[in-house]
A = this chain, B = another copy of it.
Amino acid sequence: MAVAKPKPDARQDSKVDPDLLRTMYRHMVRARVLDERMWVLNRQGRAPFVISCQGHEAAQVGMAMALRPGYDWLAPYYRDLAVTLVIGMTPRDHLLAVLARAADPNSGARQMPAHYGCRRLNIITGGSPVATQVLHAAGAALASKVRGEDAVALTSLGEGSTSEGDFHEGLNFAAVHRLPVICVVENNGYAISVPWEKQGAIKDVAQRAQGYGMPGVIVDGTDVVACYHAAVEAVARGRRGEGPTLIEAKVARLTPHSSDDDDRVYRSREEVADNKAHDCVARFRLELEESGVLAPGDAAEIRAEAMREVDRALEEAEASPLPSPESALLHVYAEDV
């Protein structure tokens, strides 16, 4: 159960098909472009609230691509924009939420943006209380197991949220019942303003796995391929009925906690600049261009394509109506129609 450090040769020994690499890059760029657009809308006063995946894209895309969309289950958290895009949600879906339109598939604009959910894609609706979803993932995995299916359930949360009792109860239950749960901790070092040192007296979140008897894997969350490999292994383990895995992805939060936060009071500009210098999207682009997976101009075209998609999505979202006031009364119970 020792914490598995990422193999230095991870990149070499992993023959990843160039098309797959390009797809990964496309997903990361798409998420980044969409996320950036949401901030623009916020600054323009057209979106009251934005919370960002910027800096987490590599981890999110790598993990999500190890899953079978619509078959495996997800209980993500508010930063997982890129996860939802990989699984099949669209920029339009999320811009509908950001603009609080009735057609928002996550919640019909009942929840704040970034509270993801989509029955069709087995993305379990999330609320705001952190860590509760870890138990929902365990329950979903239990149901699959009871039916004899080999679907896995991936849940994610921030490192700060591992301090909650539900994290403990969820991983413990999953371990005792050897459930196919993959718990991804996206460790960006902060819970709003509270640094990791004030959340746990351990160096790595992955160490928490040892209290539950499951592997605790640490990956460089800015390395999409490493994240992908870690998830593929955890998913395979789950499908084989060997139980859950905790994966800690070390990432950087490139923005303040949310559009309501000002991080200047609690972290230095140097730190923020340093994070930006290690931006996972830029890093992956460089790697792909060096290795020739991306030809000159490809990256620019991929970004332009994402821009066009987001532009279209925004137009559609803006043209879409707000919910009617009385609809606030619907769907408290199944019989309310």
Chain A residues within 8 Å of B, Cβ to Cβ: 163-169, 172, 175-176, 178, 197-202, 207-214, 243
CB distance from A246 to the nearest CB of B (A): 10
- In the complex, 15 of the A-B residue pairs with CB atoms within 8 angstroms, ordered by the A residue number, are A163-B168, A163-B172, A164-B165, A165-B165, A165-B166, A168-B168, A176-B200, A176-B201, A201-B213, A202-B212, A202-B213, A207-B210, A207-B213, A210-B210, A211-B211
Interchain residue pairs A-B with the least CB separation, the first 6: A165-B165, A211-B211, A201-B213, A168-B168, A175-B201, A208-B211
* Chain B residues closer than 8 Å to A199, beta-carbon distance: 172, 176
CA distance A169 to B200 in the complex (A): 10
User: Which residues of B are found within 8 Å of A210, using beta-carbon distances?
Assistant: 202, 207, 210-211
Whether A243 touches B201, Cβ cut-off 8 Å, given contacts A207-B213, A211-B208, is yes
What is the CA–CA distance of A214 and B172 in the complex, to the nearest angstrom? 19
Residues of B contacting A169 in the complex (Cβ-Cβ under 8 angstroms): 163-165, 168
CB neighbours (8 Å) of A200 from chain B are: 172, 175-176, 212-213
List chain B residues, Cβ under 8 A from A214.
201
* Distance of A199 Cα from B211 Cα, bound (Å): 12
**Chain B nearest Cβ from A225, distance in angstroms:** 28
| Residues of B contacting A167 in the complex (Cβ-Cβ under 8 angstroms) | 168
Docked complex Cα distance between A181 and B84 (Å): 43
